[in-house]
Amino acid sequence: MDDAKKIRSALISVFYKDGLESIVRKLANEGVVIYSTGGTSGFIESLGVPVISVESVTGYPSILGGRVKTLHPKVFGGILGRRSLDSDLSEMKQYGIPAIDLVIVDLYPFRATLASGASHDEVIEKIDIGGISLIRAAAKNYADVLIVPSSKHYGELSEILESGHCSTTLSQRARFAAYAFAESSGYDAAIAGYTGMKAGHNEFRGVAGKSTPLRYGENPHQEGAFFGDLNEAFEQLHGKELSYNNLLDLDAAVSLIRDFSETTFAILKHNNACGAASRPLLSDAWKAALAGDPVSAYGGVLVTNRMIDEETAAEINLLFFEIIIAPGYEKNALLLLKSKKNRIILQAKPFDYQPKQFRTVLNGVLMQDKDLKTESSADFRVVTEKGTDEEVARDLVFASKIVKHSKSNAIVLVKGEQLLGSGVGQTSRVDAVRQAIDKAAAFELDLRGAVMASDAFFPFSDSVELAHKAGVRAIIQPGGSVRDQDTIDYCNSHKLSMVFTGIRHFRH
């Protein structure tokens, strides 16, 4: 093809070396001259592949503690030089600038360093200068240069090198340039967000990764898309394409299960848990979760924090459900679950959880930190004469985790680390209590000895009175109402336990 260009030289300078070896060996086998810096140069030498140090080209060593390595006209001239312009070629020859046809570079892990809780100075040192400049330069000159801005593109690069015998087409170079500008804009947005926050000058910059079209949005008449890389969060093992609503439910399910370390199963419908239980055995956790509301479980989203075994899979397989997500599946368990054609089976992966939430409102965007606070018994402030024993405290912790992930106004009723009933999305708290009690009664679940959790304070004592008459013996809530004392007095006069956490968990 007329726009095909042979790769004769490459500059490689990366932070992460994983997946690089096969690419380096392919380039070497094709006679490509390789330039490199620092640790990358040492890595390439260790493979027995010839490499030319950038320092020997520029005549300058890496200086200022590694802050300046590639920032030199002999490097950037070789990348930005236009092969179609005689004047550029003449200047490159005059100043001894070698042409560079391929640039493989990645960026210092700024976001990972920030997420790790590192100090401000450590975060600042992870602001890449040379790497981002190389990416932009090579992407700008995609007419002549192929830029690979991240290891996530190594697979596609390998295919191009193999099929084209180290030649690239204009469309390939243009596509990789688009990858590069997306990478650099996302990186810059993260830095701008951090430095803006520090300086008190925040601006919204919406960068979320590549777009995946969805069948439709929340309803068929609405268009929908996902921006990001779902493959980082899970592997789809079976089933149809995920929908907009599926992804909302999955986010709610993953968020909920992250709060549990015990063997736990949860069933969600419309982003709310309709069943949840913790048990030593996974199959028992599943049965207890399902028993909480077997009607709503139909067509639901299932989530657990343990590998699915064959016994549990056999029980699950009796229910029609949309999605299951788990850390893994035994071989026979997976075969069982795959028996339904459209059933979506996902294997969860550890991933960098987004710490911020965004929502469009009116003519702008709302941003907030995600609600990552989870209470333990150490956070309890007992405000009643009667305290809590170990069993009650365990149920209160369980209930507080579930109510945190339920739509406000929210009430949940729990006994023996099993969700017995919930009232969610109600316009009054007392209505949420009634709904939770009615739910439990519908499935003949005994509330005697249960505990109640509320996502926000009780404005009046009527909710506590209703719960007590239904059999509730202990309550967990944030506190903060001007009528808290009325609620405390009712609990004391009826020998109920109540703890305040001081943490509200509104979810709208």
444 pLDDT more than 90: yes
Closest CA to 115 of 354, 371, 359, 349: 354
Q: What pTM does this model have?
A: 0.73
Catalytic annotation, residues:
140, 270
| Strands of 14-101, DSSP E | 33-36, 52-53
DSSP string, 206-226: -----EEE-S-SSSTTS--EE
Looking up tokens 């990858």, which residue turns up?
179
Average pLDDT, the chain: 91
Q: What pLDDT score was predicted for residue 205?
A: 64
Positive or negative CA dihedral for 446, 452, 454, 457?
positive
Each residue of 188-228: pLDDT tens digit? Answer: 888 887 887 777 776 666 656 677 889 899 999 999 999 88
Average pLDDT, stretch 466-483?
97
Judge whether residue 323 has pLDDT over 90.
yes
Query: Average pLDDT, stretch 343-364?
Result: 89
Whether the CB-CB separation of 307 and 326 falls below 8 Å is answered with yes
**51 has pLDDT over 70:** yes
CA atoms within 13 A on the CB side of 382: 14
Q: How many angstroms separate the CA atoms of 396 and 406, rounded?
A: 15
pLDDT tens figures, 113-151: 888 888 988 888 888 888 899 999 999 999 999 999 988
pLDDT at 208: 61
State the average pLDDT over residues 359-364: 90
C-alpha 300/C-alpha 317 separation (Å) is: 13
Q: What is the DSSP letter of 166?
A: S
**Arithmetic mean of pLDDT, 369-393:** 94
Residue 106: per-residue pLDDT: 86
CB 418 within 8 A of CB 288: yes
Range with lowest mean pLDDT among 262-276, 355-369, 479-493:
355-369
| Chain centroid, CA 62 distance in Å | 36
Q: What is the pLDDT of residues 395-438, one digit of tens each?
A: 999 999 999 999 999 999 999 999 999 999 999 999 999 999 99
Does residue 1 have a pLDDT over 50? no
pLDDT-derived band at 69, boundaries 50, 70, 90: low
Q: Give the per-residue pLDDT at 2.
A: 56
Are residues 305 and 284 in contact, defined by beta-carbon separation less than 8 angstroms?
Answer: no
Q: Of 372, 390, 265, nearest to 326 (Cα)?
A: 265
**Helix 73-80 with 86-94: angle, nearest 10 deg:** 160
d(CA 399, CA 256): 12
